[in-house]
């Protein structure tokens, strides 16, 4: 059984607000990444010029938080 996708309408935001959010998200990822995760990713062939080294559990927490914030901002 596949999970049901939830569609959240996007609010109209300025490019400056979007850039601020992107910068905040990158900083958040930089703070939570670990060398252990980076080494684990490399072991499975996951390489890139910029690797944050953030676990999937942490990424899911970020996604859930972003979804809750978006829902709160809209409603």
Measured distance CA(34)–CA(13) in Å, rounded:
32
Q: What is the mean pLDDT of residues 58-74?
A: 73
The angle at the Cα of 17, spanning 16 to 22, to the nearest 5 degrees, equals 95
Residue 5 in any domain: the answer is: no
Domain residue limits at 57: 16-74
Q: What is the count of structural domains for the chain? A: 1
Residue 6 in any domain: the answer is: no
Express each pLDDT in 6-60 by its tens digit. Answer: 555 556 668 888 888 888 888 988 999 999 999 999 999 988 898 999 999 988 8
Residue 1 in any domain: the answer is: no
Residue 3 in any domain: the answer is: no
Higher pLDDT, 2 or 37: 37
Query: What is the pLDDT at residue 46?
Result: 87
Q: What is the mean pLDDT of residues 58-75?
A: 72
Helix residue ranges, H only, the chain: 15-32, 35-43, 56-74
């Amino acid at each position: 059984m596949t999970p049901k996708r939830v569609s959240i309408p996007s609010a109209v935001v300025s490019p400056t607000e979007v850039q601020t959010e992107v910068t905040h998200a990158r900083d958040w990822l930089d703070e939570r990444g670990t060398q252990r995760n980076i080494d684990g990713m490399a072991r499975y062939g996951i390489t890139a010029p910029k690797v944050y080294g953030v676990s999937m559990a942490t990424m899911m927490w970020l996604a859930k938080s972003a979804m809750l914030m978006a829902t709160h901002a809209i409603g």
